[in-house]
Chain A
Amino acid sequence: MKRYAFIGLAVLFMLSFVGCSKVEEKKAAPPQNPDVILSTTTSTQDSGLLDVLLPAFEKKTGYKVKTIAVGSGQALAMGEKGEADVLLVHAPDAEKKVVASGAAINRRLVMHNDFIIVGPADDPARIRGKTAVEALKSIAQGAKLFVSRGDDSGTDKMEKSLWKTANIKPAGAWYLEAGAGMGQTLKIADEKRGYTLSDRATFLAQQKNVALAIALEGDPKLLNIYHVMEVNPEKFAKVNNAGAKAFADFLLSEEGQALIATYGKDKYGQPLFFADSGKSEKEFGL
C-alpha cells in the first residue's frame, strides 16, 4: 500500500508539470520577446484597473505582462536599475529625476484622478471645506491621529510635499507611519480612528470595509497624475523596449483610454480614473 501511495504522489506531481507546459504552449505566435515587466504602483492593481487593461493588451498584441505592483518609489528604483521594462507611476517630481538621469524615456501622461483626505465621519479636526494644507495644519495643531503610508510611494511623496508646504515636520504620538500599501493604511486609519491621505480609486474600492468618510476633496493641489515611461534601452541593453513601447502605446490608444475612462462606473457610480491621452502637465497647472 505504502509503495502505491508513493507512486501515486510521484505521478500526481509529474502530471502537474505536464499541465504546466501545456498552458505555456497554448499562446500562439508571440512577439520575439513576449515578456514585458511592468513596474507600477499598488493603486493600479488594488483598484482593479490592471485586471481590465492587461488582458485586453495581451490579447491584442501577444505580449505577456509581468506586473510588479509596489510603491511608486520602488517602481522607479526598479526602472533606474534596468530591472523593469515599462513604468506606470504617480510621482511626478521623482519621475522627472529618473528621466533626467537618462534611465527612462518617453514619459507620457496617461490618466489622473485625485487624492482625498479621509477620516472619522465626525471629523474631529474640523477640516471639511479647508484646503489640503490648512487641513493638515489643523490636524497637527489638534494632534489628531494621522496615518501616513510611510513607504515612499507616490501617495506618500504627495503627503510629504503637503507637510512641507504647510511648514510642519510631522512627528509625535499622533503621527503614525504605517509602511504599508494604501488598502492596509486605510484599514489602520479606520481601526485607529485617524485621518489619512488616499487616492480616490483605492478608497472607493475599500469603502465597503471601512467606516471612514471623505473629509476633504477637490483641492487642485491634490491632483494624482499617472505617467507611463519606457526604461531607456540605450542605457540598459537587456530591457524589452519593443514590449514596453507597445504597452505604453496601448495605454494611450483609443481602446486603452476608453477602458480607463469607463472603469469603475458600473461598480462605484463614478469613474476611478480620468483618461488624459495627449494632455500635458501644464494643463493641470503643474
Chain B
Amino acid sequence: MDVLREGIRAAAQLLSAGDPEIIEVLLLTFKVSGAATLISVLLGVPLGLYLALKEFYGKQFIKGIVNFGMGLPPVVVGLFVSLLLWRYGPWGELALMYTPTAMVMAQTLIALPIVTGLSFAAIVSVNPRLRLQLYSLGATSRQVNWMLIKEARLGLIAAVIAGFGRVVSEVGAAMMVGGNIKGQTRVLTTATVMEVGKGNYDTALALSFILLVAAYSVVVVLTWLQHSGKREIL
C-alpha cells in the first residue's frame, strides 16, 4: 500500500509544481470530454424532448436504439471512427485521425445516447398534465417546451453528469483514435495506461488521482446547479 501513499504524494507534487506536461494533459482531457459533452447536450436534449413529446411511426424502435446505445462499448466506437478517419477511409481527406477532433467525435458518439436517453426519461417523468395545463393557459409550444425543460432540469443535469462521466473516464476510444500522442492527444486515461506499461505505478496513480479530483470538481459544480434549481422550484 506504500504505492498508494506514494501516488497521492506524487499527485500533489505534480499539481502543486504546475508540471506543464500534466497541465497540458489535464487541459486536453477537459477540452475533449467537455466538447464531446457539450455537443451531446446540444443534440441529445432536443432529441430526448422530441422523443418524449412527439408520437411518430417507429418511435419504439428509435427508443430501443437509444437505450442500446447507452451501453455502447467505447472500443467499438473507436474502431468505427478509426475506419472512417483513416487516410484511406471514406473521410481520410479530412486528415483527422490522431487529432483531438477525432477524439471528440468518438466521445460524442459515446455520450450522445446517454444524454438522449436520460433526457427522454427526465422529460417523460414530468407530470403530463402540466403540458396540457400550459397549453390551456395559452402558452406557445416553444414556451411549453422551455417550461418542461426547466421542470425536468434535475434529470437533465443528471444526464449531463452521466455523459461527462462516461467520456472522461473512457480509454478505449481515446487510445484508438487519438493514439496517446505526447502533447497532442494524450489525456489522463491514456497517459495512465501508458505509465502502467512503463512500470511507473506511482505516476499512474498520481494521474488517476488527478482524474478523480478533476471529474469530481466538475460534478460538484453540476450538482450545485442541480440543487439551486431545486430551490427555485420550492
Contact = CB atoms under 8 A, between A and B. Distances in A.
Contact of B198 (A37, A46, A54): A46
A42 B98 contact: no
A45 B224 contact: no
A138 interface: no
Interface of B is mostly: helix
A19 B197 CA distance: 30
Contacts, number: 80
B197 A2 contact: no
B88 A83 contact: yes
A81 interface: yes
Given A5-B221, A19-B27, A238-B92, A13 B38 contact: yes
Interface of A is mostly: helix
Interface stretch (A91-99, A203-211, A219-227): A203-211
Interface string A77-88: 000011100000
Interface stretch (B10-18, B109-117, B166-174, B178-186): B178-186
Interface residues on A, range: 35 or more
A16 B30 contact: yes
Interface residues of B, number: 31
A66 B184 contact: yes
Contacts of B87: 82-83, 236, 238-239
Given A46-B198, A183-B196, A209-B201, A5 B224 contact: yes
B225 A48 contact: no
A37 B201 CA distance: 28
B44 interface: no
Contact of A82 (B88, B182, B197, B198): B88
Interface string B9-53: 000000000000000100110110010001000000000000000
A16 B30 CA distance: 8
Given A2-B229, A6-B225, A66 B181 contact: yes
B209 interface: no
28 contacts: A2-B229, A5-B225, A5-B228, A13-B34, A13-B38, A16-B27, A20-B27, A35-B95, A42-B197, A45-B194, A45-B197, A46-B198, A51-B182, A66-B98, A66-B179, A66-B184, A68-B179, A68-B181, A82-B88, A83-B86, A181-B197, A184-B196, A205-B198, A209-B201, A236-B87, A236-B88, A238-B87, A238-B92
Given A42-B197, A45-B198, A83-B87, 20 more contacts: A2-B229, A5-B224, A6-B225, A16-B34, A20-B31, A23-B24, A46-B198, A48-B198, A54-B182, A67-B179, A81-B86, A82-B87, A83-B86, A183-B196, A184-B196, A186-B199, A187-B199, A236-B88, A238-B88, A239-B87
